[in-house]
Amino acid sequence: MSGEASASPASAGDEGPPSGVPGFRVWALPGLPEVRPGDDLAKLIASTEPGLVDGDVLLVTSKIVSKAEGRIVEAADREAAIDAETVRVVARRGPLRIVENRQGLIMAAAGVDASNTPSGTVLLLPEDSDASARAIRDGLRDALGVEVGVVVTDTFGRPWRTGLTDVAIGAAGVRVLDDLRGGTDAHGNPLSATVVATADELASAGDLVKGKAAGLPVAVVRGLPHVVVSTSGEDEGTRGMVRGARDDMFRLGTSEAVREAVTQRRTVRAFTDEPVDPDAVRRAVAAAVTAPAPHHTTPWRFVLLESAESRTRLLDAMRDAWVADLERDGKSEESIAKRVRRGDVLRGAPYLVVPCLVMDGSHTYGDERRDGAEREMFVVAAGAGVQNFLVALAGERLGSAWVSSTMFCREVVRDVLGLPEGWDPMGAVAVGHAAEEPKARPERDAGAFIEVR
């Protein structure tokens, strides 16, 4: 890579690598005036006589796109602007917020920026950077008759790495990702996870010559025509570069992750037949047994029903006991069948867990009131353990449903599973992968559940 910040195509110094050696050139584009709201960026770039040729890639700093599109607000409104641009808070530390903005990007302060803009103002990101890139590409084709790619860039910090770099937030006419999966490396090893972020690499290359304070907001890359794609048809833009929530293992900050897991824990009543990872369930149990408990006890036991045979044997025995109870209550066959069907959520799950309460370490007072309170403390601790378990399962991307049915036939459950007499089954938890997205939970006003004294 070569090129001074003020270089032009004809005077960029070294003409490139030796013949036959892969390489490219990158230089900043001089002569661009201060951009103002309403300016046509393609015409401004064309007016600098940039000497563009087919296959070049233009790297355009998002700030000049925002200025041209009038995305300027008063600095006093910065916090309100961040709020307006924010879809969700990913992490917060003091006044600093890392958020997902309306463009789907995860970044500090939703991309609202006070640099390279007149004093007293801040810039918002373009509303649709892909559309902005298309407008510049089309405008340059009309003005100069060239087929180029355009990447709109912005500066990002990165998890686990110190320092900033430019990445692509919009693109047109550029192959933004190079999917090498299915190929092999130089040693013949299969490539199963290699997808190169070509547009981000181009953005970073341009940042090396544009700089942050040199007043050179546009760079040109030449020598990589294979990354420029036909302008016909639908342009993919940068939408596919944003990792989806399901595949994002680092979606939240620590405190936000805890709140997200709690609020996103939902009762799942229909599961796919995808197997459950037993290690994930064991990790959830490890979280469960950190719950508070009286007298430094450990009143939880979790029975994992990992074989289909064990699940069927238990559920059949529970069904028979339940039917016998309902018949003794005088329920009709139709009523009994309807009630028994409610237990189908357990039969449809590929994995079952029976949490049990043990009273080891409890105190006996010989007083009905105090002994009753003692048991209640242990029951509350058992519930806390189950809640930890359910939340941890949600964190493992597993759905669950806590069903109380084992509490109505504890002797049957103990007998079928061979459990000690002192183990009290506290329901059963169906575990698996949700067959469909859960319905939206009705909003609840927390204030309605609070009394302050």
The rounded distance, in Å, linking the Cα atoms of 53 and 42 is 15
Q: Supply the DSSP symbol for 190.
A: B
pLDDT at 354 over 90: yes
How far, in Å, are 44, 79, 91, 109, 201 from residue 95 at the CA level? 38, 10, 11, 10, 31
Reported pTM: 0.64
Which one, of 68, 26, 46, 35, lies nearest residue 211 by Cα? 26
Q: Tens of pLDDT along 383-405? A: 999 999 999 998 888 999 999 98
Contact 425, 407 (CB under 8 A): yes
Question: Over 90: is that where the pLDDT of 70 sits?
Answer: yes
Section 337-349 average pLDDT: 81
Q: HEC states along 211-225?
A: CCCCCCCEEEEECCH
- pLDDT tens, 187-226? 777 776 678 899 999 999 999 999 776 789 999 999 999 9
pLDDT of residue 3: 39
Place of tokens 């584009």: 29
Predicted confidence at residue 289, as pLDDT, reads 96
Neighbour count for residue 440 (Cβ, 10 Å): 6
Mean pLDDT over residues 333-344, rounded? Answer: 79
For residue 25, give both structure tokens.
Answer: 């050139």
Whether 166 and 218 have beta carbons less than 8 Å apart is answered as: no
Q: Which amino acid is at 339?
A: R
Q: Give the chain's domains with CATH numbers.
A: 9-247 (3.30.1330.100), 265-449 (3.40.109.10)
How far apart, in whole angstroms, are the C-alpha atoms of residue 151 and residue 129? 9
The strand pairing partners of 431, in sequence order, are 351, 400
